Structure 1
Amino acid sequence: MPPTDASADTATAPGSDASAGRSPATDGEDTLHLRLPEEFLALCAKADADATRDQLLDRVGDWGRTHATVGAFELVPVEIERDLPLITRWMNDPAVAAFWELAGPQTLTEAHLRAQLAGDGRSVPCLGVLEGTPMSYWEIYRADLDPLARHYPARPHDTGIHLLIGDAVDRGRGAGSALLRAVADLVLDKRPACARVVAEPDLRNTPSVAAFLSAGFRFSAEVDLPAKRAALMIRDRSVRDLL
């Protein structure tokens, strides 16, 4: 006689969990309570942090070389072990120290750099390499995510620039304004969401303010910042082709 419906419903297929004496429910609970290794979780967290760090400024390290009127130029993200002695020497130049206020032992410059490198990527310290030679220090930063945003009407994706020319031989011959123009163009090329490049040089630093003006920035306002009275300089994407 063929099995009734009831007996068919309770039949056990060969090789099933029930026929092997295991409970599917128990196996499911084991899976739900599976704990991933701490090393794997740490690796995932680092990958997420690295992705965020790269996204905030659209991977500055991948922007590549551009051509300024003074030669081929590239922004290269700082590596502490490689670049710290050079940047420390620049910071101790009296002309630089007057406005950056980082003169002193190497540990002072190191702390300034590491604070950015350990952050979420909203500020990226870079060497400016002209024709293969490091000659300037740059910070490319998200001005809309910076304390500066409390002092002016910031817009999403405003991108800021800090710059120092390392050696006296490279100053006063137009290199600063040429490189500022090139880097501002690079920002606008590589960051399509950014409509403005901004800067806030010390108002007393008239050569720096003049270099920004020559690079196509406009003077927007005087801004009282915690450490200085600054000239707010803005380069607008909307008038880029007119400059």
Structure 2
Amino acid sequence: MTFAFRDVDPLRDAELLHAWVTHPKAAFWMMQDARLEDVERAYMEIAADEHHQALLGLRDGEPVFLMETYDPAHRELAGLYEARPGDIGMHFLTPPADTPVHGFTRAVITAVVARLFEDPAVARVVVEPDVRNTAVHALNEAVGFVPEREIEKPEKRALLSFCTRERFERAVAA
């Protein structure tokens, strides 16, 4: 599967994102009760933040997933681990599908991590999913993430995990 990426337009994309982040499948996104205005505001804040970025993944020109990146030394993980130069944090969300496509979510995470490693300055991708989100732990492991430890964030207990370029390349080549 081939994907393209574009920046989220907070106003144009708010309805789509609202449907995605409030769906029960997106429980770990922690926006279940968000109103449309809350989603607009959240993505306007991201758009204005030099340490955070939101992108839509497109397939045949249509949005099919959400990807966020952040500088873990300044957002999400600031003060919770020893950030290194070249670290980048990542979140991704695949929306519910009327007709699920086998392997789609794995193709998405592979494309997301590959996109991050296109930047030669990126040495490691950092993730901190909820410890209860076993489905994403398996996906992370499939593309080369190695769990380091559980950490306590204000909103959740998270599994801090890292993926180097070399581990990613080995995982996707296997």
- TM-score for both structures, normalised by structure 2: 0.88
* Higher-Rg member (1/2): 1
Q: How many residues in Structure 1 have an aligned counterpart in Structure 2?
A: 170
CA distance change for structure 1 residues 140 and 132 in 2, over 3 Å: closer, same or farther? Answer: same
> Which residue among 167, 186, 204 is the counterpart of 2:132?
204
CA distance change for structure 1 residues 229 and 210 in 2, over 3 Å: closer, same or farther? Answer: same
Letter of the 1:89 counterpart? A
Show the counterpart of 2:7.
77
Q: Distance in 2 between matches of 1:233 and 1:203?
A: 11
Q: Does structure 1 retain, via aligned residues, the 8 Å contact 2:143–2:168? A: no
Map 1:1-243 → 2, pairs under 5 A: 71-96=1-26, 98-103=27-32, 104-119=34-49, 121-169=50-98, 173-189=102-118, 191-243=119-171
Deviation at 1:188, TM superposition (A): 1.3
Deviation at 1:178, TM superposition (A): 2.0
The answer for unaligned runs of 5 or more in structure 2 is: none
Q: Does structure 2 retain, via aligned residues, the 8 Å contact 1:135–1:167? A: no
Q: Distance in 2 between matches of 1:228 and 1:167?
A: 23
Three-state SS of the structure 2 residue aligned to 1:185 is helix
CA-to-aligned-CA distance 1:63-104 (integer Å, 9 cap, x gap)? xxxxxxxx11122101123211100111120121x2122133
Identity of aligned residues (%): 32
Bigger helix fraction: 1
- TM-score for both structures, normalised by structure 1: 0.65
CA-to-aligned-CA distance 1:1-23 (integer Å, 9 cap, x gap)? xxxxxxxxxxxxxxxxxxxxxxx
Q: Does structure 2 retain, via aligned residues, the 8 Å contact 1:137–1:163? A: yes
Q: Distance in 1 between matches of 2:99 and 2:128?
A: 21
Q: Does structure 2 retain, via aligned residues, the 8 Å contact 1:138–1:164? A: yes
